[in-house]
């Protein structure tokens, strides 16, 4: 029973850390930015939120979220350059 309680506590801690993280905010902001035009069906934040908050996120899911965030962030400089022309 103690192991279960410790696991549940770690899952809650992970969820709390995720909820207040700059990474979560960054992913959210980029997915919702109209200029990036991310289709609703291509957004991953809701799924990542659920998995992080439950403490059931896998390493592969976390890596995919990092990759997606990086891809979206990488689009911004090109859009800024295009807007300045």
How do the pLDDT tens digits run along the chain, 85 residues long? 776 667 778 778 888 888 889 999 999 999 999 999 999 999 999 999 999 888 888 999 999 999 999 999 999 999 989 888 8
* pTM for the model: 0.81
Domain boundaries, the chain: 2-84
Full DSSP string of 13-61: HHHHHHHT-HHHHHHHHHHH-GGGT--GGG--HHHHHHHHHHT---HHH
pLDDT on residue 31: 96
């Amino acid at each position: 029973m103690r192991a279960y309680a410790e696991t549940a506590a770690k899952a809650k801690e992970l969820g709390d850390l995720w909820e207040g993280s700059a990474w979560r905010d960054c992913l959210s902001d980029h997915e919702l930015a109209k200029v990036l035009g991310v289709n609703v069906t291509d957004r991953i934040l809701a799924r990542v939120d659920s998995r992080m908050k439950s403490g059931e996120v896998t390493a592969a899911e976390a890596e995919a979220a990092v990759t997606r965030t990086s891809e979206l962030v990488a689009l911004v400089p090109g859009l800024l350059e295009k807007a300045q022309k």
